[in-house]
Amino acid sequence: MKKPLFTLAFASMALVASAQTKVTVNADQGKHQISRHIYGHFAEHLGRCIYDGFYVGESNTKIPNKNGVRLDVVAALKKLKVPNLRWPGGCFADTYHWKDGIGPKAKRPKIVNTWWGGVTEDNSFGTHDFLNMCELLGTEPYLAGNVGSGTVQDLTEWVQYVNFEKDSPMSSLRQQNGRAKPWNVRYWGVGNEAWGCGGNMKPDYYANIFRQYSTFMNPKVGDERIFRIASGASDNDYNWTETLMKNIPNTLMEGLAMHHYSVLSWGEGKKGSATQFPDEEYFKTMQQALLMDELIEKHSAVMDKYDPEKKVALIVDEWGGWYNVEPGTNPGFLYQQNTMRDAVLAGATLNIFHKHCERVRMANLAQAINVLQAVILTKGDKLLLTPTYHVLEMYNVHQDATMLPVAVKSDDFTFEKEKLPAVSVSASRDKAGKVHVSLVNIDPTKPQEISVDLKGLNATAVTGRILTSGNVHDHNTFENLNKVKPVAFSGAKLSGNTLTVTLPPVSVAVLEL
């Protein structure tokens, strides 16, 4: 391994930058809303995400809970303003039969989670448990239906069970199981990764399957029809998007999914360490993260051919960094740590989603607790907030705000002969008229001097917070819960319509004007 270039502590650095980054915020041009649903999360039956993450059981007397759901988790996620939560998968969704998870818990059949670790689950966390938890969290549920091994009848009966208020076989069953009123679930995934773990289908075949399932999923939620999300493409499979858009009328489909992970290699054990990564791996991870912009642009261009009015939303319902599991943990549990690398990855990705908010109207970080790029890690009765958590908490000021177009001429972050833009920016105006600007510096050694031209904005003051640390590998542990946390930011100066920002290496800042 070459000597690391990106591990210098601030104390040993000369904070000198080349004043090459220029940003224009067009505060007088905003017209598209950044949907709060871009800030969605994902809870799959995978490793310790559900059991020992969200849910510790009703009989647990050591960890404060309500109906088995950890109250510290509830408090932390409420602070994030989580708008929606996807469940039960993922790959697990296409092996999950929802009727196994209702009724008296002692009578629920056990199942084997064949996708993730081969563990036996007792189905103690099922439909009622999840939907009641969503009410506790103040979030909208996003249910992923079983298309791979289920039937049309299974899924349509699930819709009826959770949504139908009047007398019917499924609403009667729901009432027998203790819930009088329906939950009114609007968001429904019609299968997951149908091109892979959801059935290894070809796009033409899945398009027909989707049309069949979607036809029978017709109950409304209030005055709106339910929001049916097709299993979309992986990464740059534009043919998948083309085939579905060409063959599925938008009267049957409200959303089309797309998955993209910032991963080095899909080979077993070749994804790199979550904490001890060399320079090359850091650069390539950020390269994959910033690729999201190109993927969204090209998938959106395909969708525009068939849906120029943008009625169908692009739903990035799986994204994030994916590394090797932590040493000594079950490889099927996908438990990984979370560093400042993940913080800048999250900030830059959210800035990309903001840019494309006219088409991207929902996204789901993978995953909420103890899995992949988690916002929360748990260990017994302890809870840890990751750097990614702090970025999403800082950024939630953008939820349902008006996106303000930005132009960025960034300095370069270079590694050997390759380069990436060092600075990522997005901006929005909230309903109270406040403008928020999010800035990310992915360069781990060089600060950025950024000049921001505020067009159409007469700002009188600037405040902000920043998330940064002395080393790109820094992360929070159960021995040091607050090594990485946001602090007040004093590196922004306002003079007329010009904002000057000194952004430290590997940092995320959110300013309020």
Extract the tokens encoding 144. Answer: 């992923």
Q: What is the pLDDT of residue 19?
A: 52
121 three-state secondary structure:
strand
**How many angstroms separate the Cα of 429 from the Cα of each of 28, 231, 473?**
10, 33, 33
Strand partners, 23: 408, 452
69 three-state secondary structure:
strand
Q: What is the pLDDT of residue 222?
A: 75
**Nearest-angstrom CA–CA distance, 189 and 364:** 12
Phi, psi (rounded to 5 degrees) for 223:
-90, 0
Q: Where are the beta strands (DSSP E) in 286-400?
A: 313-321, 360-365, 376-379, 382-385
Q: Where are the beta strands (DSSP E) in 395-457?
A: 402-404, 406-409, 412-415, 418-421, 423-429, 435-441, 448-455
Q: What is the pLDDT of residue 11?
A: 36
Supply the residues annotated as catalytic.
Answer: 193, 318
Name residue, tokens 């640390």.
Answer: 469
Q: What is the pLDDT of residue 9?
A: 39
**Nearest-angstrom CA–CA distance, 159 and 86:** 15
**Nearest-angstrom CA–CA distance, 327 and 112:** 24
Residues in the chain: 513
Mean pLDDT, 10 residues at a time, the chain of 513 residues: 43 47 96 98 98 97 97 98 98 98 97 94 98 98 98 97 95 97 97 98 98 91 89 98 97 97 93 97 98 98 98 98 97 97 98 98 98 98 98 98 98 95 98 97 96 94 97 98 97 95 97 97
Q: What is the pLDDT of residue 122?
A: 97
Alpha helices in 98-228 (DSSP H): 127-137, 152-163, 169-176, 203-216
Collect all residues with Cβ–Cβ distance below 8 Å to 385 and sequence separation of at least 6.
76, 375, 376, 476, 481, 485
* Residue 131, amino acid: L
**Nearest-angstrom CA–CA distance, 340 and 354:** 21
**Nearest-angstrom CA–CA distance, 73 and 80:** 11
Q: What is the pLDDT of residue 42?
A: 98
